[in-house]
Amino acid sequence: MQLWIYLYFPTLQLDALYSEESQHPLVIVDSKRFQIVQCNQNATDQGIQLGMGLGSASALCHQLQVHPYDEKVEQQTLIDIAQWLYMVTSDIVLFAPQGILLKATNMLSLYGGLDAYWQHVSHHLDKLKLRFHFATGFSPFSAILLAKSGSNLLNQDKQAMTDILSRYPISATELDHKQVEKLSRVGVTHIQQLLELPMQELARRFDIDLVNYVGRLMGQFKHPMTFYHPPERFQSYMELLFDIENIQWLEKPLRKLLNKLALFLTLRNQVAYELQLTLHQRDQQDGSIVFTSASGDYLAERWMKLCQLTMESLKLDAPVQGLTLSLIRGGELESTSQDIFSGHKRQQSELELIGVLQAKLGKESVRKVAPNNDPRPEHATILCAPDVPIPIKPNLSHARAYRFRPSLMLPKPEPLNEKVSIIQGPERFVTGWWDGDEMTRDYFIARSHSGRWLWVFRNQQMQWFLHGLFS
């Protein structure tokens, strides 16, 4: 016997968008029929019920907050739930806009039984703070019927589940209204009566859809399924509940998007190096902000700190109505600790420091000094990207040349205007002939009368210049 678990989220839009407004009476209204389809507890306490017209609800509560029902919001939230559940279970089927079906059969041996499996799933779901009903079933339709009826049933006995199913009216099934009316005209009002009819009789008197439903309900017919697979590319859109004109106020919705990103990366054992936040602005072309992490990270909190540093110097030129967070560049998660037992040492790594500086100053404003193979002092070092690895020790062939070099080089050599004592030298440089910038100089290490250690040179015209200072 196959075992299925159906999760039914009857107030998905309400819980996903307006859970923090529970102190006010709030309802979700079907824009076509103007009927209440979802309401919070505060609205229920005012006497508002599901299916009630908007006019009647407004008469009962003058402070009622009304929002239109948006199926797309629930579908996107359902995908987020499926991605969250994918961390603890596989074989997930989306029943948009308010249901998720889990194939539990293959997971029972992994978790050691139905109770242990459901404990892991329910505990994982509780972190999302969404209201839902659940039920097991020996077929997808049986689990759906029991869950939508609010039974919260957890059972592996097929006969017991069949007995419970038979008590429900036909209206509780997934059959459309016309089929329910046809069955009612011939006296079939409950599932027990429907199951007592032979399949041949159903096929003769009713259409094939009813036969297929009964066969799938009882597990006699195969139920075609399209299982959920997490997307390969991360891009998440969030519509804001109101226009935002202060960029600091974007931090709260951005944190929710970063939590989704963290889940995406965790499932794949990856880190993100570069993100793009697209700002959908009213009466304005969409703007974008790029966030980078030199070390790569997957944790939402660490990304949030980098985002805050980047956004604190920015200003909005138009109100923002929505956000889209996209993963631009990512990679595999690599261990940064040489000892797995050492734990977190609470020390900022080089790449983490680079990431903070880039977030604060801008990516193009942070550079690393690297040695160059050109022997001319003016060209001995170059500025490169901060994530380029630089060997700590110089090449052995240049070890002698790097041993006595000043820590501070002047942008341009300056005439030497003070008396000095020569300590070491000369070191002759005859180079640059290959690109036309030829030079012939004799360099010395000198000490001034004030105690400074200087790097000076003499050219062919016997002129003396100061080029660097030792620390």
Report the percent of the chain where pLDDT is more than 90: 57
Report the percent of the chain where pLDDT is more than 70: 94
In the predicted structure, residue 336 carries a pLDDT above the cut 60 = no
Q: Are residues 240 and 212 in the same domain?
A: no
The reply to whether the predicted model has a pTM over 0.85 is no
Q: Are residues 16 and 154 in the same domain?
A: yes
Q: What is the pLDDT of residue 312?
A: 85
Token duo for residue 242: 């109101």
- d(C-alpha 298, C-alpha 293), whole Å: 10
Q: What is the pLDDT of residue 222?
A: 92
In the predicted structure, residue 339 carries a pLDDT above the cut 70 = no
The mean predicted confidence, pLDDT, of the chain is 88
Token duo for residue 78: 């359902």
Q: What is the pLDDT of residue 355?
A: 76
CATH number for the domain that contains residue 109? 3.30.70.270
User: Tens digits of per-residue pLDDT, 156-194?
Assistant: 999 999 999 999 999 999 999 999 999 999 899 999 999
In the predicted structure, residue 345 carries a pLDDT above the cut 90 = no
Q: What is the pLDDT of residue 399?
A: 47
Average pLDDT over residues 70-86: 92
Q: Are residues 252 and 182 in the same domain?
A: no
Is residue 228 in a domain? no
Q: Are residues 73 and 198 in the same domain?
A: yes
CATH number for the domain that contains residue 270? 3.30.1490.100
- d(C-alpha 325, C-alpha 212), whole Å: 43
Q: Are residues 158 and 112 in the same domain?
A: yes
Range of the domain at 257: 235-333+349-361
Q: What is the pLDDT of residue 335?
A: 55
Is residue 287 in a domain? yes
Name the band, by pLDDT with cuts 50, 70 and 90, for residue 385. confident
Q: Are residues 313 and 453 in the same domain?
A: no
Q: Of 277, 339, 268, 276, nearest to 298 (Cα)?
A: 268
Which of 223-232, 347-356, 423-432, 438-447 shows the lowest mean pLDDT across its residues? 347-356
Whether 320 and 280 have beta carbons less than 8 Å apart is answered as: yes
Is residue 56 in a domain? no
Is residue 304 in a domain? yes
Q: Are residues 183 and 246 in the same domain?
A: no
Q: What is the pLDDT of residue 411?
A: 86
Q: What is the pLDDT of residue 340?
A: 43
Q: Are residues 15 and 95 in the same domain?
A: yes
Whether 457 and 396 have beta carbons less than 8 Å apart is answered as: no
Q: What is the pLDDT of residue 347?
A: 60
Which of 84-88, 219-223, 264-268, 369-373 shows the lowest mean pLDDT across its residues? 369-373
Q: What is the pLDDT of residue 141?
A: 96
Whether 418 and 434 have beta carbons less than 8 Å apart is answered as: no
Average pLDDT over residues 59-64: 91
Average pLDDT over residues 233-250: 88
Q: What is the pLDDT of residue 388?
A: 74
Is residue 111 in a domain? yes
Is residue 32 in a domain? no
Longest dimension (CA), the chain: 118
Q: Of 264, 259, 266, 268, nearest to 238 (Cα)?
A: 259
- One-letter amino acid of 124: H
Name the band, by pLDDT with cuts 50, 70 and 90, for residue 203. confident
- d(C-alpha 138, C-alpha 221), whole Å: 12
Is residue 79 in a domain? yes
Sign of the Cα pseudo-torsion (141, 145, 150, 153, in order): negative
Whether 73 and 88 have beta carbons less than 8 Å apart is answered as: no
Name the band, by pLDDT with cuts 50, 70 and 90, for residue 338. very low
User: Tens digits of per-residue pLDDT, 16-48?
Assistant: 888 888 788 999 999 888 999 999 999 999 999
Question: Peptide bond preceding 198: is omega within 30 degrees of 0, i.e. cis?
Answer: no
Token duo for residue 356: 């903070």
In the predicted structure, residue 401 carries a pLDDT above the cut 60 = no
Q: What is the pLDDT of residue 156?
A: 93
In the predicted structure, residue 276 carries a pLDDT above the cut 60 = yes
Name the band, by pLDDT with cuts 50, 70 and 90, for residue 393. low
- d(C-alpha 4, C-alpha 419), whole Å: 91
- One-letter amino acid of 112: G
Q: Are residues 211 and 243 in the same domain?
A: no
Token duo for residue 435: 């690109």
In the predicted structure, residue 206 carries a pLDDT above the cut 50 = yes
Q: Are residues 200 and 241 in the same domain?
A: no
Whether 320 and 243 have beta carbons less than 8 Å apart is answered as: yes
Cα separation of the two ends of the chain:
79
Average pLDDT over residues 204-220: 90
In the predicted structure, residue 350 carries a pLDDT above the cut 90 = no
User: Tens digits of per-residue pLDDT, 141-158?
Assistant: 999 999 999 999 999 999
Q: What is the pLDDT of residue 392?
A: 63
Average pLDDT over residues 200-206: 86
Q: Are residues 211 and 88 in the same domain?
A: yes
- d(C-alpha 233, C-alpha 278), whole Å: 16
Total number of domains in the chain: 3
Q: What is the pLDDT of residue 463?
A: 94
Is residue 387 in a domain? no
Q: Are residues 246 and 193 in the same domain?
A: no
Q: What is the pLDDT of residue 406?
A: 87
Q: What is the pLDDT of residue 279?
A: 93
